[in-house]
A and B are shown apart, each in its own frame.
Chain A
Amino acid sequence: MAELSTTSGRYIKGVTLGEGTYGVVFKALDTLTNRTVAVKKIRLGKYKEGVHVTALREIKLLKELHDPNIIELIDVYPHKRNLNLVFEFMESDLEAVIKDRNIVLSSADIKSYMQMTLKGLAQCHKKWVLHRDLKPNNLLIATDGQLKLADFGLARILGSPDRNFTHQVFARWYRAPELLFGSKQYGAGVDIWAAGCIFAELMLRRPFLQGSSDIDQLGKIFAAFGTPRESQWPDMTSLPDYVEYQYCPAPPLRSLFPMASEDALDILLRMLTFDPKSRITAQQALEHRYFLIEPAPTRPVLLPRPPTRPEGKSKPAEVASPAAPIVLSPPNKARRVTLFPGGAGGDVHSSGRVDTGYPFPSRDASGGTVPGETPSDHGEIPMSVDMRTTAGQAIPPRPTLNSTDRSYLKRKLDMDLAVSHYQEEQQI
């Protein structure tokens, strides 16, 4: 361990693992338990608003959530004017697994990762906590192979049903259709949708629905599952940002996932159901036939994992998102890398974009490309069916919540104080 220095007496500071939006994460040794831990150091800013709400949320919720599939908050301690959060040290994350081309994921491995994700989610939902930022790089993998949900900085407790939530949550590719239509009163279904996208991503080994804007994201969703009819999702038309999409029939799901078993497709379809009310719950999903029949999920300790994570890239979600696409294929294929201008840009929220005559993506008969948008429109990879064709291509950077989203969120949170519609005090 480099630069030895003591922290709070108990922790011996090690190398820096990464930098998040609200602080630095470094590796440390817990001298009390001899465990390796990750310490997230939260900058408090110059006497403005004290402890950051995001940090407070994470502390508040993780103090209540204890589960083998949820990251453990070991300790919190103040240091100088910083607050340090001590987490168990996690070796890798699911994004690294998905991206590592040397790893072959068997259907038993995928089942194991999905089971752990859903177990963690079921525990959150049981305690009425919505994670709201599920994506592969927030699913961390421990040394013993256990997958754990992390980064609860956007998580909320589902309280009074009439309280409005912001719909600007999740990285776009994992955002449920009700969020994309601007719903502010949503439930656990948003996490399930994201889990469904992750399931698809594990099978395809690339993000499933890579929209470049909110409108495009919906286009991608409808291209894969067909434009929902009123009967499929009765509440859809009353959502705040609802726009009508040209009808497009669903291609057979089998064509998108040629290798998947019938049960895998069935559970996937139930997780990616349009109407959040009929979407499967985490608990129901765990009891689905998919998890009951052969092959049995691989034991976590036997799961394939990337060798070791390169230092500097690590746990907090905000750390990732490189500015340029990473070339995963051999260097001689580097020329195939396409730029991804949409990824790093601001989050274009749907309103105002509708009347620009945005080309509606529809699938042609061959089922491969989306003719409505040529690569020059967005410069991105069209959704394709055959995973072999994508194996050599670069994966565009994952959109994370960018600064626009964050400032939007912050404004939303500040506005909350104006919404005091609770019963005023009554004296007897």
Chain B
Amino acid sequence: MAANFWTSSHCKKLLEQEDIAHVSPIDQNRGLTTEDAKIIKVHLSNYIRKLAQHAKVRQRVVATAIAYFRRIYTRKSFSEYDPRLVAPTCLYLASKAEESTVQAKLLHYYMKNFGTAPDEKVFRYEIKDVLEMEMRLLEALDYYLVIYHPYRPLVQLLQDAGLTELIQTTWALVNDSYGTDLILMYPPYVIALACIYIGCILKEKDARTWFEELRVDMNVIKNIAMEILDFYDNYRQIPEERVHAAFIKLPPRS
């Protein structure tokens, strides 16, 4: 979105690491660890992506859906908001908010037939569960629905740097940055810069002078880059039994 990020609710609601990493007491009682929570979020972010591929929505819708999903769990517990249902509902809500509505019955069809559902429990949810959850999610999000993404600044920054050949690599890096909570913590253009930074290292481009002229805090950029690289090291491929071990602690609400 080309709108003004600095005056947006998204900007005012940026969070610190400690606001995000905590696990709610109810979840802790079920034995859910910070690591479990991270795995559940990564797994369901991928699930949203897969559903979205079937629904053929724009990249932005996916990004917004994942941002909603992650934002909700900075406030709510997995125990009270079953992530198996929250994930597809986030996609449903995001598709409306980003003006490319996916019909509820289609979404439900994809839920039943495609994508790697976290476990078979997702099949129990019906359309009405999605619609009921939509209301609860709106409330949990405090009705703030506008989310800014790094895609647009990425394109602009690459043009400015004269590095447009990096678009594919960096675009994919931005996609994968949604495997983390970065979107809740940093302005989108900073995430875009971090992806360009990684892209430059991967493709051996020298953009040091360009970065210096930007006068951004390179420590912040490097921290974000480290977080993205950590995602590749540890969460790109999560062993199935590890996912299973996390989800088994979360019986769906009957």
Contact = CB atoms under 8 A, between A and B. Distances in A.
Interface in A38-86: 44, 47-51, 53, 56, 59-61, 63-64, 76-78, 81, 83
Contacts of B131: 44, 47, 50
Interface stretch (A140-148, A342-350, A414-422): A414-422
Contacts of A83: 135, 138
Given A60-B146, A64-B146, A420-B57, A51 B1 contact: no
Contacts, number: 110
Q: Could you tell me the dominant secondary structure of chain B's interface residues? A: helix
A126 B2 CA distance: 10
A427 interface: yes
Interface stretch (B17-25, B26-34, B71-79, B101-109): B101-109
A159 interface: yes
Interface in B51-107: 53, 55-60, 92, 95-97, 99-104
Contacts of A60: 97, 143, 145-146
B171 A49 contact: no
A47 B135 contact: no
A47 to B, nearest CB: 5
A59 B145 contact: yes
Interface in A197-220: none
A426 interface: yes
A377 B71 CA distance: 59
Contacts of A423: 59, 171
B209 interface: no
A302 interface: no
A76 B135 CA distance: 11
B99 A416 contact: yes
A426 B100 CA distance: 21
B205 interface: no
A158 interface: yes
A270 interface: no
Output the residue of B7, B96, B104 with the most chain A CB within 10 A.
Answer: B96
B49 interface: yes
B172 A129 contact: no
B170 to A, nearest CB: 10
A425 interface: yes
Contact of B3 (A50, A129, A416, A421): A129
Given A422-B58, A426-B171, A428-B172, A63 B104 contact: no
A215 to B, nearest CB: 29
A142 to B, nearest CB: 23
A1 B103 CA distance: 41
Contacts of A420: 56-58, 100
A220 B171 CA distance: 49
A31 to B, nearest CB: 20
Output the residue of B59, B101, B127, B171 with the most chain A CB within 10 A.
Answer: B101
B1 A128 contact: yes
Given A81-B135, A127-B4, A422-B58, 18 more contacts: A47-B127, A48-B104, A50-B104, A53-B96, A53-B101, A56-B97, A59-B138, A59-B145, A63-B9, A83-B135, A128-B1, A128-B3, A417-B95, A420-B56, A420-B58, A422-B60, A423-B171, A428-B172
24 contacts: A47-B131, A50-B96, A50-B104, A51-B96, A59-B138, A59-B143, A60-B143, A76-B138, A77-B139, A83-B135, A83-B138, A128-B1, A128-B3, A156-B99, A157-B1, A159-B2, A416-B100, A417-B57, A418-B56, A419-B100, A420-B56, A425-B175, A426-B172, A428-B176
Interface of A: 44, 47-51, 53, 56, 59-61, 63-64, 76-78, 81, 83, 126-129, 156-159, 413-414, 416-423, 425-428
